[in-house]
Amino acid sequence: MGLGVYRSPWLALLHAPQRLNLIAASVVFLAMLWLFSSSALPGLSLHFLGLTVVTLVVGWPLTLVVGGVTLLLLSLAGQMAFSGIGLDMLGMVVPPVLVTALINAGAQRLLPANYFIYLFVNSFLSAILGAMAAALASASLMLVLGMYTWDVLTSSYFPLLPIQWVPEAMINTMIILGLTLLRPDWVITFDDRRYFKN
C-alpha cells in the first residue's frame, strides 16, 4: 500500500473531484463485494475480488490504496481481524492489481487498438489471471506460515477455486463494458478516441 500512496497522483486528484468520487465509489464497491464471501478454510475465503475493474478505472497505484482502505474499513466494521490486513493485502490485493497493470501495459504496447481486445485481454483475461494469482499467493502465504499443509490446500481449497474464476472475469468485463460504453471518461486506462476510431 505504501507504493500505491507514493505513486498516486494526489495533486492531480485535487483538481479532479470526479476522480475522487470514483475512488470513494471503488471503496464502497469493494467493501460490498468482499462482504459476500464463503470461507473455504479459516484465513482462506472465496469471494469476488473486483480489483481488475478498479485497476482499469483508477489505475494501479490508487487501487492499492483503495484495497488497503477497504480492508481497514472491513476490520473496523468487525468483518475481519486487524492482524490479517497485511496478509490480505499481500495475498488478495497486490497480485490481481499487479497482473492487471502488467497485462494492460503489455496489451497497449503490443496489441492493436481494438475494443474487443481491450475487453477480452485487459478485462476478462486480467480478471481470471488476477484471481488465480491471488489464490496462489494466499495459499502460498498460508503454506509458508505453516497454517496449512500442501495436502490440506490441495484437497480443501484448490478444487473450489475454478468456480470463482470465470464469474470473476464475467463480472469485471460486464462492468468495464458498461463503463466504456456509457462513461468512457471514468476509465483511466481506456481512450475512446483510440479504441473507437472511424
What would you measure as the largest C-alpha separation in the chain, in angstroms?
57
- pLDDT-derived band of residue 198, with 50, 70 and 90 as boundaries? very low
Give phi and psi for 50, each to the nearest 5. 70, 10
Q: Which pLDDT does position 4 carry in this prediction?
A: 54
pLDDT at 41: 73
- Stated pTM of the model: 0.87
Residues 150-154 have a mean pLDDT of: 89
DSSP state letters, 33-93: HHHS-EEEETTEEE----HHHHHHHH-HHHHHHHHHHHHHHHHHTTSS-GGGHHHHIIIII
User: Is pLDDT at 155 greater than 70 in this prediction?
Assistant: yes
88/85 Cα distance (integer angstroms): 5
CATH of the domain at 29: 1.10.1760.20
Q: What number of other Cβ atoms are within 10 A of residue 69's Cβ? A: 17
One-letter identity of residue 158: F
pLDDT of the residue at 37: 74
Of residues 92, 69, 50, the one with CA closest to residue 176: 50
The rounded percent of the chain whose pLDDT value lies above 70 is: 90
CA dihedral 157, 122, 34, 150 (to 10 degrees): 20
Q: Helix, strand, or coil here: 114?
A: coil
Mean pLDDT of 86-102: 94
Mean pLDDT of 20-34: 90
Name the pLDDT band for 5 (thresholds 50, 70, 90): low
**Which tens digit of pLDDT belongs to each residue from 28-78?**
999 999 888 777 677 677 788 999 999 999 999 999 999 999 999 999 988
pLDDT value at position 68? 93
- Give the count of domains, the chain: 1
Query: 179-193 pLDDT, tens per residue?
Result: 999 999 899 999 888
- What is the residue range of 85's domain? 2-195
Q: Do 144 and 155 form a contact (C-beta atoms < 8 A)?
A: no
Cβ atoms of 142 and 128 closer than 8 Å: no
- The DSSP secondary structure of 157-193, one letter per residue, reads TGGGTHHHHHHHHHHHHHHHHHHHHH-GGG-TT--HH
Q: Are 131 and 177 in contact (CB under 8 A)?
A: no
Give the rounded percent of residues in the chain with a pLDDT score beyond 90.
Answer: 56
Alpha carbon 175 to chain centroid, angstroms: 13
